[in-house]
């Protein structure tokens, strides 16, 4: 064998190994092995536009189909625990009761942070052009039914020079079990002791006032067609439907609008507090430019996938989302996961038991 032939053969063998052995950081780990696979997932409406983009791109690249149903975070958790879907997506980490139920049904649950975003106070005031300023306590009092008018002194004092109308605030909330509701109530519970005591945090709460709408689309749609309405929606939905939304005073006393940058800043400032099980909160995080109502979307799945013939495909897809998939987040106004957090999540994914 000539020296030239030897190196040529070595190069071909190395390339074959990389292709056949899944040497990349993301994507299916075997050639052609996943071509007929269809993953079923569901839950969070927050992540639905992003998941739709990820699923389409992943299918085009690898031939693996990901069917996602935006049924709400609560439903996604329920279906994951019941094993009627391959993985769920939620904007709220599982609570202790849900973890215990999952342990009985299938073992430990892994939380995989996928993407971050901001929840905004969206409103419909056609004659007000300037972004309205809110504080957490004022938002809490609105959702407690204590502030009923847009020109209430508590709101007007935050917005000097802005002529707020003598109009009822039509409060809109989620009627279904929702991770967005968890983020919203988690924030309001942190900044308002009264809200924490009377309403509390959760994916589904008993609202003292307001109109319930199903899904983020329902809330955004109602706000868009109802003058005087105020509701909480993800930034992307507000932008897509041309809804006005306000800035919120953060822990450092700064009024901040939701953006990729301000949500990412919140994540960076929370990094040291993120535990090994990845159940954390991004609301009311310190930092001059941190947006205070930021949240994460998690994929949740059983850590033991050894009895699931699609277990490896689930892990491959989630690993791809955490790497190549993050390049698609900016165009849809989601904030990508910080690289230092991705490294930690990779180690956790590597411990998933696969068939």
Q: Would you list the domain boundaries of the chain?
A: 30-117+294-354, 118-273
Q: Residue 213 has which token pair?
A: 């709408």
- Whether residue 323 contacts residue 30, with contact meaning beta carbons closer than 8 Å, is answered with no
Cα→Cα distances 58→118, 136, 355, Å: 25, 39, 22
User: In the prediction, which pLDDT does 26 show?
Assistant: 61
- Whether residue 185 contacts residue 201, with contact meaning beta carbons closer than 8 Å, is answered with yes
Question: Cβ-count burial of 10 within 10 angstroms (0-12 exposed, 13-18 middle, 19+ buried)?
Answer: exposed
User: In the prediction, which pLDDT does 36 show?
Assistant: 82
pTM: 0.87
User: In the prediction, which pLDDT does 355 show?
Assistant: 80
How far is Cα 338 from Cα 317, in angstroms, rounded to an integer? 19
Same fold, 30-117+294-354 and 118-273: yes
For 251, what's the count of Cα atoms within 13 Å in the CB-facing half-sphere? 19
How far is Cα 197 from Cα 175, in angstroms, rounded to an integer? 21
Q: Residue 332 has which token pair?
A: 């849809």
User: In the prediction, which pLDDT does 35 show?
Assistant: 59
Contacts of 225 (CB under 8 A, 6+ apart): 124
Contacts of 161 (CB under 8 A, 6+ apart): none
Mean pLDDT by 10 residues, the chain (355 residues): 41 37 51 69 94 98 97 95 97 96 97 97 96 98 98 98 97 94 97 98 96 95 97 94 97 96 94 94 96 97 96 97 97 92 96 91
Q: Which CATH number describes the domain made up of 30-117+294-354? A: 3.40.190.10
CATH fold label, 118-273: D-Maltodextrin-Binding Protein; domain 2 (3.40.190)
Task: Write the DSSP symbol of residue 64.
Answer: -
């Amino acid at each position: 064998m000539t020296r030239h032939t030897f190196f040529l053969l070595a190069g071909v063998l190395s390339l074959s190994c990389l292709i056949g052995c899944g040497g990349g950081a993301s994507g299916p780990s075997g050639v052609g092995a996943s071509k007929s696979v269809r993953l079923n997932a569901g839950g969070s409406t927050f992540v639905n536009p992003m998941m739709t983009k990820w699923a389409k791109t992943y299918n085009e690249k690898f031939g693996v189909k990901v069917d996602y149903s935006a049924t709400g975070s609560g439903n996604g958790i329920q279906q994951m625990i019941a094993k009627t879907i391959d993985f769920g997506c939620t904007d709220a980490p599982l609570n202790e009761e849900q973890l215990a139920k999952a342990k009985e049904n299938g073992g430990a649950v892994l939380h995989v942070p996928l993407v971050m975003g901001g929840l905004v106070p969206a409103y419909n005031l056609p004659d007000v052009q300037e972004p309205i300023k809110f504080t957490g306590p004022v938002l809490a009092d609105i959702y407690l039914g204590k502030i009923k008018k847009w020109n209430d002194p508590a709101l007007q004092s935050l917005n000097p020079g802005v002529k707020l109308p003598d109009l009822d605030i039509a409060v809109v909330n989620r009627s279904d079990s929702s991770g967005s509701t968890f983020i919203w109530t988690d924030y309001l519970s942190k900044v308002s002791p009264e809200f924490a005591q009377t309403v509390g945090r959760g994916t589904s709460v008993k609202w003292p006032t307001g109109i319930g709408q199903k899904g983020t689309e329902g809330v955004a749609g109602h706000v868009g067609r109802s003058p005087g309405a105020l509701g909480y929606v993800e930034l992307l939905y507000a932008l897509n439907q041309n809804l006005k939304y306000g800035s919120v005073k953060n822990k450092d006393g700064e009024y901040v609008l939701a953006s990729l940058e301000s949500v990412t800043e919140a994540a960076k400032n929370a990094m040291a507090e993120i535990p090994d099980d990845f159940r954390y909160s991004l609301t009311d995080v310190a930092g001059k430019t941190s947006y205070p109502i930021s949240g994460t979307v998690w994929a949740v799945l059983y850590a033991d996938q050894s009895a699931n013939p699609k277990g490896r495909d689930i892990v491959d897809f989630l690993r791809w989302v955490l790497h190549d998939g993050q390049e698609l987040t900016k165009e849809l106004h989601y904030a990508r996961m910080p690289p230092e957090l991705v490294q930690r999540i990779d180690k956790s994914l590597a411990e998933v038991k696969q068939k």
